[in-house]
Amino acid sequence: MNKVERALIHALFVHLHHNIDKAIDFSVFEELNEKVSQMWPGGLLIGPEADDDAAVVQMPGDNGMLVAKMESHCSPCVPRPYDAAATGAGGAMRDVVAMGGRPLFLLDFIGTRPLEDEVIVGPCGFDGVCTCGKCEIMSSAERLNLMIKGIRDMCESMEVFVVGGGLSTSFSDIVPAVVVAVIGRLVTEEPLTKPTKNAGDQIIIVGKTNSDGNDTLYRAGLVDEMQPAEALFDDERLTMDAALAAMETGKINACSDLGAAGIGAAVCESARYGGFGARVDLSLAPTKTDLSPEEILICETQGRMLFQVNPSDVQEVVDAVRSQGASVAVIGEITTADETVFLYDGEPVARIPNHPDPKILQELS
């Protein structure tokens, strides 16, 4: 098992970011929602137990559907508060888009140390003392303003209202709490969902990959310094517009945004949740600079989306994306295998089973 396989398997099967059900008993919510459904039948279409990007609800008395997503971006705000808060907001917005929705409203919550406390912003922030000489010492209030500005600037780029939120200055931990909730309106006839639907579907990527965003490697203990993804305001807007244009074709069978663990997680989760596998040629993915195959696979560059489309419908979807000026490419296909294989110019880069050996998972825990 190579380095990138270790990082991906850790992210997909061990770390709580992708395995919330290991910490939370979702049956508690299912029981509650079943009771509430007696009052509002048909109100909840996609709930918290679903393996998907966001919730979808039917408003009572309204034919329209709403999409909602809450996301945190806490640890990345230690080394890079502005970008991390902005990408947290952008990531939640992409989750709404991935379901076929147009994000409209955002609420945020920030919890931080007392405003007069000093905080370290930079690579050594987790250690509590700077030894690299690259960090900046600032007040908690100054860091708070950076995080708020990041959220605000992403909302301006995506034309999303900030409608409320909350603030606490009673936190004592090094890591602040940065949480956003995004609500949008479904613009497709039915919600798009992440799980793969058909073997043979072609995998289409929208947006270009760069070398930024190593959170997955950091969480797996494979790198010493967290380097969060950069906020890409123009790219986020371009990808949203291109995705919505592609969705208007009605030809997208499955959709997911690219966030933590990048292409690797987006493809593996979608295929596995549908009971399929996938084969991806990373050399076909558009990039912003020269990247190693491993970087293309796992970097967490923002402003990207994945579609799965019948082969006969690929050109129509690609043309819709290009009509907005976005980069797009077909990078692979869904298979009947019980694993996802990533190649680069025909050479294997990583092989991720749908059901890893429990001994491996124990080793990575």
Domain boundary among 122, 157, 191: 191
Share of the chain above pLDDT 90, in %: 88
Range of the domain at 171: 42-191
Q: Is the pLDDT of residue 269 over 90?
A: yes
154 with 302, same domain? Answer: no
Q: How many domains does the chain have?
A: 2
Res 117: pLDDT:
97
pLDDT average, residue stretch 212-221:
85
171 with 203, same domain? Answer: no
Structure tokens at 133: 């000489």
Q: Is the pLDDT of residue 223 over 90?
A: no
199 with 329, same domain? Answer: yes
165 with 199, same domain? Answer: no
Res 238: pLDDT:
98
What is the four-CA torsion angle of 319, 327, 281, 300, rounded to 10 degrees? -140
252 with 313, same domain? Answer: yes
Domain boundary among 191, 224, 241: 191
- The reply to whether 24 falls in a domain is no
70 with 216, same domain? Answer: no
Give residue-wise pLDDT tens across range 239-266. Answer: 999 999 999 999 999 999 999 899 999 9
Res 215: pLDDT:
85
The full 3-state SS of 303-334, as one line of letters, equals: CCEEEEECHHHHHHHHHHHHCCCCCEEEEEEE
Res 350: pLDDT:
97
- The reply to whether 94 falls in a domain is yes
Give residue-wise pLDDT tens across range 338-365. Answer: 999 999 999 999 999 999 999 999 999 8
198 with 187, same domain? Answer: no
Give residue-wise pLDDT tens across range 103-122. Answer: 999 999 999 999 999 999 99
Which amino acid, 118? E
Q: Which of 121-125, 224-228, 272-276, 344-348 shows the lowest per-residue confidence on average (mean pLDDT)?
A: 224-228
How would you label 184-209 residue by residue, b for 16+ Cβ within 10 Å and e otherwise? bbbbbeebbbbbbeebebbbbbbbbb
- The reply to whether 5 falls in a domain is no
Res 216: pLDDT:
87
Higher per-residue confidence, 317 vs 25: 317
Is residue 361 helix, strand or coil?
A: helix
Tally of helices (H runs) and strands (E runs) in the chain: 10, 15
212 with 360, same domain? Answer: yes
CATH code of the domain covering residue 69: 3.30.1330.10
Res 120: pLDDT:
97
- The reply to whether 152 falls in a domain is yes
Is residue 40 helix, strand or coil?
A: coil
Q: Is the pLDDT of residue 51 over 90?
A: no
Res 55: pLDDT:
97
Distance CA 23, CA 101 (A): 28
Domain boundary among 151, 174, 191: 191
Res 219: pLDDT:
78
Position 276 confidence tier, pLDDT thresholds 50, 70, 90: very high
Give residue-wise pLDDT tens across range 125-174. Answer: 999 999 999 999 999 999 999 999 999 999 999 999 999 999 999 999 99
148 with 198, same domain? Answer: no
Strand pairing report for 277-281 and 339-344: parallel
253 with 223, same domain? Answer: yes
Q: How far is CA 190 from CA 59, 248, 272, in A?
A: 14, 11, 22
Structure tokens at 345: 């110019």
| Mean pLDDT, rounded, of the chain | 95
The pTM for the full model equals: 0.95
- The reply to whether 34 falls in a domain is no
Structure tokens at 251: 């030809």
Res 5: pLDDT:
95
pLDDT average, residue stretch 200-225:
90
- The reply to whether 281 falls in a domain is yes
Please check whether residue 49 is in contact with residue 26, taking contact to mean a CB–CB distance below 8 angstroms.
yes
Q: Tell which residue, 122, 226, 102, 113, has the closest CA to residue 171.
A: 113
